[in-house]
Amino acid sequence: MAQITAIFWDVGGVLLTNAWDREQRDKTLAHFGLDPIEFDDRHDMLVSSFERGKISLDEYLQHTVFYRPRAFTVQTFKDYMLSLSQPLPDSLQLAQALKNSGKYFMGTINNESRELNRFRIHTFGLDKIFGLFVSSCFVGLRKPEAGIYKLALEITQKTPQECCFVDDRPLNVDAAANAGMHAIRMENAAQLRRELEKLGVVG
């Protein structure tokens, strides 16, 4: 088995809570008293463009929430969205330890909109751990598309056999495995540590 020299991580559900997944959307809609059916219809039409960086957060909100007058401001809505992002300390600590070991190239492969991604990178110090962010909003590709994994390999000039990918969603893990990477579905930080150790990855 080839030695692992690079580890690519998902962000939402692995290192941090999700940014704007169904749980966060449902909580926000309930908080502001918005109709979920009406919102979801609009969200579904825009989410691909939003996460690929084709439209801004302001444009997304204009079409999904502020297409009619509201009793709250755009900034109030944004602030609430951002407040839902929280760290997952155990897996962040593991990622930091692997970074500190100096043995591995550390990057992310994640689906996230531009403004939320930048906020989360800087708020939670991800830029101190990872040297590359292959984020959908920056590269115009989304997991589980094969192209986003291929791009990460091409940018880093790593072979798939040298790379490990960590995600919490089976479809994304399967796509990474299909690209030839060692792929781990994370359930919790302790389980992830054990799976990494099986691949010879230790901090």
145-162: pLDDT as tens digits: 999 999 999 999 999 999
Confidence at residue 203, expressed as pLDDT on a 0 to 100 scale = 86
Predicted local confidence at residue 2, as pLDDT = 78
Quote the CA–CA distance of 199 and 155 in Å, as a whole number.
23
Which residue in 77, 98, 97, 88 sits closest to 20, CA to CA? 77
Tell whether the model's pLDDT for residue 1 goes beyond 90.
no
Q: pTM of whole model > 0.75?
A: yes
| d(C-alpha 152, C-alpha 155), whole Å | 5
User: Could you give the percent of the chain with pLDDT greater than 70?
Assistant: 100
Instruction: Please check whether the domain covering 6-17+87-198 is classified as CATH 3.40.50.300.
Output: no
CATH superfamily of the domain spanning 22-83: Putative phosphatase; domain 2 (1.10.150.240)
Q: Locate the domains of the chain by residue range.
A: 6-17+87-198, 22-83
In this prediction, residue 99 has a pLDDT band, given cuts at 50, 70 and 90, of very high
